[in-house]
């Protein structure tokens, strides 16, 4: 079947409407002819379904590949993904975000599209703002958002990206954020009644030497880590949270009592991203989670839904990394993080405080 290049399309005659559109949903029929996108045309050319003429010249596959690569940004990436999806048996149509694909067994007209596929090179950073825009667009029309990442060797990794359901699957199950010390054993109750427990800020961590309270905070809410039998070490985020809850009073090395503000300033000097992390830590506590450091996994937090006793620490279901709203996802780093989460059976969440709310976004590797 003869077709010709016309602007950004390859145009096929009326017979293509039944042969290509009605049987395979290639292209878009208009005014009695069929408009094919370059990726569709390349695929049909590869399959020997069409011949493509540029002016009067017949182009072979390589000539058309070069032509399309010059004319369309990232043509090669789109073709690699389009061909892969076609060979997996999907019906595909062009969309604002590269492709719209139909569920297995479905097709245009019969069913509505299931997913929007966004094609990207591993070499290009993905700005968080762009991600949110795409996410809003796909969520508005209730589609699944799929990122198809093409690596330097042309392998494709598919990620489903979605907001986590903060009312449902992403909720903690702790019945308290801080154990009620007055209901605890006698020594702790006495200490609690006397007001906040004193603690010392060393360089990077806070140490409290009240054995009774330390044990309750550690054993019943997984705060900090015991330094020895008597003393609890708290991380900076944990310490600020307990200060704000009036559980501890933090003294500096000169025995001066710190306010939450002076503490936050000190912590920010040690760790420039402290406040960004703390905002999310606090939100997670308010969502009844138990956030602990994710250092071993290269993320800010690993998150437990519930730890009310250290005798039965459950699996931590989530890894969470806090990012800024101006974050640019570096794809190799992101890919590694998701792969690690996967291999330790956790879900990978990115959190960003946009000022209006904290966005919790999940990246999941999927097989198409």
Would you say 131 and 97 are in contact if contact means Cβ atoms under 8 Å apart? no
Among 20, 237, 242, 280, binds a second copy (CB under 8 A): 237
Under the binding rule (CB under 8 A), the answer on residue 276 touching a second copy is no
Would you say 309 and 325 are in contact if contact means Cβ atoms under 8 Å apart? no
- When the beta carbons of 106 and 196 are compared against a second copy, the nearer one is 196
Q: Which range in 3-11, 105-113, 147-155, 161-169 contacts a second copy by CB under 8 A?
A: 147-155
Indicate the pairing of strand 9-12 with strand 2-6: antiparallel
Under the binding rule (CB under 8 A), the answer on residue 256 touching a second copy is no
DSSP single-letter state for residue 257:
B
Under the binding rule (CB under 8 A), the answer on residue 203 touching a second copy is yes
Write phi, then psi, for 4 (nearest 5 degrees): -140, 150
- When the beta carbons of 40 and 238 are compared against a second copy, the nearer one is 238
| CA-based max dimension of the chain | 94
Under the binding rule (CB under 8 A), the answer on residue 66 touching a second copy is yes
Q: Which range in 29-37, 135-143, 185-193, 202-210 contacts a second copy by CB under 8 A?
A: 202-210
Active site residues: 304, 315, 346
The candidate with the shortest Cα–Cα distance to 240, out of 299, 280, 195, is 280
Between CA 1 and CA 296 the distance in angstroms is 59
Under the binding rule (CB under 8 A), the answer on residue 260 touching a second copy is no
Under the binding rule (CB under 8 A), the answer on residue 304 touching a second copy is no
**DSSP letters for 102-135:** PPTT--BTTB---EEEEEEETTS-EEHHHHHHHH
**What residue ranges bind a second copy (CB under 8 A)?**
46, 61-62, 65-66, 69-70, 74-77, 80, 83, 121-123, 151-155, 157, 200, 202-205, 207, 209, 224-225, 227-228, 233, 235-238, 253, 255, 270-271, 292-293, 295-300, 331-337, 339-340, 343-344
């Amino acid at each position: 079947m003869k077709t010709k290049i016309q602007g950004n399309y390859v145009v096929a005659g009326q017979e293509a409407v039944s042969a290509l559109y009605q049987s395979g949903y290639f292209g878009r029929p208009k005014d009695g002819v069929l408009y094919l996108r370059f990726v569709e045309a390349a695929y049909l050319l590869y399959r020997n379904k069409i011949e493509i003429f540029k002016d009067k010249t017949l182009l072979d596959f390589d000539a058309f590949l070069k032509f399309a690569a010059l004319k369309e940004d990232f043509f090669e990436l789109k073709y690699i993904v389009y061909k892969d999806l076609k060979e997996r048996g999907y019906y595909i149509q062009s969309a604002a975000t590269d492709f719209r694909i139909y569920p297995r067994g479905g097709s245009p007209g019969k069913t509505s599209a299931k997913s929007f596929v966004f094609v990207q090179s591993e070499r290009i950073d993905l700005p968080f703002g762009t991600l949110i825009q795409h996410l809003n667009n796909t969520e508005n029309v209730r589609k699944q958002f799929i990122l198809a990442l093409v690596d330097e060797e042309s392998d494709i990794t598919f990620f489903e990206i979605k907001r986590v359901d903060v009312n449902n699957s992403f909720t903690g199950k702790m019945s308290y954020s801080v154990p009620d010390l007055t209901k605890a054993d006698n020594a702790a109750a006495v200490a609690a009644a006397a007001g906040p427990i004193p603690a010392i800020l060393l360089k990077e961590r806070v140490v409290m030497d009240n054995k009774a309270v330390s044990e309750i905070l550690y054993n019943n809410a997984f705060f900090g880590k015991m330094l020895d039998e008597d003393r609890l070490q708290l991380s900076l985020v944990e310490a600020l949270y307990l200060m704000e809850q009036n559980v501890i009073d933090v003294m500096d090395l000169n025995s001066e009592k710190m306010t939450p503000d002076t503490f936050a300033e000190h912590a920010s000097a040690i760790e420039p991203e402290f406040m960004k992390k703390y905002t999310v830590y606090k939100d997670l506590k308010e969502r009844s989670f138990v956030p602990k450091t994710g250092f071993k996994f290269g993320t800010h937090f690993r998150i437990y839904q519930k730890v009310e006793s250290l005798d039965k620490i459950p699996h931590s279901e989530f890894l969470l990394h806090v990012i800024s709203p101006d974050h640019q996802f570096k794809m190799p780093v992101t890919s590694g993080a998701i792969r690690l989460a996967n291999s330790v059976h956790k879900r990978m969440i990115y959190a960003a405080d946009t000022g209006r709310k904290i966005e919790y976004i999940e990246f999941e590797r999927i097989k198409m």
